[in-house]
Structure formats: C-alpha cells, structure tokens
Amino acid sequence: MQKVTPQVFTDTTLRGCNPSMVVTDAGVVVVDTPQLPTKAVAMRQEAEAHGEIRYVINTEHHVDHIFGNYYFRGAGMVVQHQGVYDNFMEVTPSLDSFAYAAEAVPTDDPEGEAIFPDRDEYFADPNKGHVVFTGDLTLRVGNHTFELLHTPGHTPGQIAVHVPEERVVFTGDTIFSECQTWLMGSNVTQWLAALDRISALDVDWVVPGHGEVVTRDYLHRQRSNLVDWVAAVTDAVAKGWSREETVERVDFSERYPVDVGQGYMMSHIQTLNAGSLWDKITQGRPA
C-alpha cells in the first residue's frame, strides 16, 4: 500500500475504490474495503500486522466500497452512516450489486473465485454496520481522532473521514482524482456543498474514492467537473434537445480516463451522467 503519512496507507492501484487504513497506538482503522476478494484478504492481513482492527468505516454504499467487508468479518466494528446502512448492497432495476461484484472477479481477480461466496452465503452475513449514525460522528482511537462528516451528494449517506492528527481526509467518491466522475443518482447541489465543507478542513492530503492522492487544490477541479456537466445538460435542455440527443451530444470522455479496470465503461458513464441530469432538469428536480 502507498504510504501517505507515516501512519496512513492507501491503495490506488485496484479496480474499485481506494481502500485505506490508519495505524494508531491503539489499533488500526480501515476506511473502505477492497471489492476484489484476494485484495480484501491481503489488506486485512496487512492491517492486522500493524495491530488489532478497531473499526471498519464505509464512506458510501456503492459496492466497490463495501463488498470487501465480508472478508473483514470479526475484525472490528463496522461504522456506517444511516444512508449507507439503508442502501447496503441494494439491488435496483439497473444494478444488481452482488452480480456487479461477481462480474469483476474472472477478469481482475481470478484467484478470488475460490473464495467468492454464493449469494445466499454472502447475504447471510455481509458484515453490515454495527455502529450506525446520522449527521456527524467523532471516534477516538488511541492518539487519533476520526471525524466522520456527513457530506451527501454523490450518495445520500456519503461521509468524509477527517483525521486531524495526520492532516488527511478520506473523501470517498466526493472526489474522483484524474478520472471520470460517476454522477449516477447524485445530487450535484449537495455535492458542491460537500466540497465546500471539505475545503474548509486544514489538511495536507486528500485521499479520494478513486485516483491518486491529491491536495486540497484538486477540490476546485472536481467542482469544475460537476459544474460543467450540469451546465452542458442545462444548455441542451434549453435548446430543446431530447434525452436521446443529449446523451448522444454531451460527452466529456476526452477529459479523463476511467479508473483502473473499467475502461470499457466509458460510454456507459457518459450515457448515465447525461441521461440522469436530463431527467432531473426536465422534471424540475435538483441536478
């Protein structure tokens, strides 16, 4: 794993989120878990080499941030915002989270097939939240403070994890660093407010949900990405473009690549982002 500070580690090389951990004098705190089975097992082993795992914190409910919890069963308490807990491994008409996790294994973690659970086995104990909260929550572990800040936007239960002693914040998918931003069912107005809240923190390092570790300066670029998407689709609606025309013509694929292992999803991301924004704007809902 990459050492961000002497006590903070993350892995930006995997398909899925950037799973991270903080080593304290009273144990280890994990922030998000790897989606791929063997990577989750390896991370647990590495974390436990530093001490007892005290907490596993999930920054959001999307499968790439939570599926690895299964491999952390018995290792510390799982901490989730109510919005994460309520939507944990959701199955919708457009996405079966379990099937999505299984889909990545043959291509990105073939050795993981041997330890990938069947559906019934998984849902019998997926290692869902033990500590569930609304608003914000502060945890103390030894000589470290963990400020869990509710930063909705990308998802309703989105949180950032601020560790002031390390001058670092883990943002989850509020930040996509140098890679395509997935808007999905997001609320951009809330997302922009979340960026404002994070920008007010006195930190040196920002660990994003995807992409390389950055400084606070990158928050402006993430804001621009969101504003540009909304402006482009708002302009399309003003011109009278249909949903199909908007999806065909509004495209930011040249701006950034897709994160690790999902290059084939580029067209899907552009379609998803443009289509979801068109739906909201034409229905008079917040983008």
Residue 184 banded pLDDT, cuts 50, 70, 90:
confident
At 221-262, the pLDDT tens digits run 999 999 999 999 999 999 999 999 999 999 999 999 999 988
Contact of 129 with 78, CB cutoff 8 Å: yes
At 45-93, the pLDDT tens digits run 999 999 999 999 999 999 999 999 999 999 999 999 999 999 999 877 7
pLDDT at residue number 90: 83
pLDDT at residue number 91: 73
Closest CA to 157 of 69, 86, 208: 86
Separation CA 7–CA 23 (nearest Å): 5
Residue 284 banded pLDDT, cuts 50, 70, 90:
confident
Residue 112 banded pLDDT, cuts 50, 70, 90:
very high
248-252-254 Cα angle (round to 5): 115
Q: Is 182 exposed, middle or buried (0-12, 13-18, 19+ CB in 10 A)?
A: buried
At 32-44, the pLDDT tens digits run 999 999 999 999 9
Does 16 have pLDDT greater than 90? yes
Closest CA to 165 of 137, 141, 144: 144
Element (H, E) at 137: strand 137-141
Q: Is the pTM of this model over 0.85?
A: yes
CB neighbours of residue 161 within 10 Å: 24
Residue 286 banded pLDDT, cuts 50, 70, 90:
confident
Mean pLDDT for all residues in the chain: 96
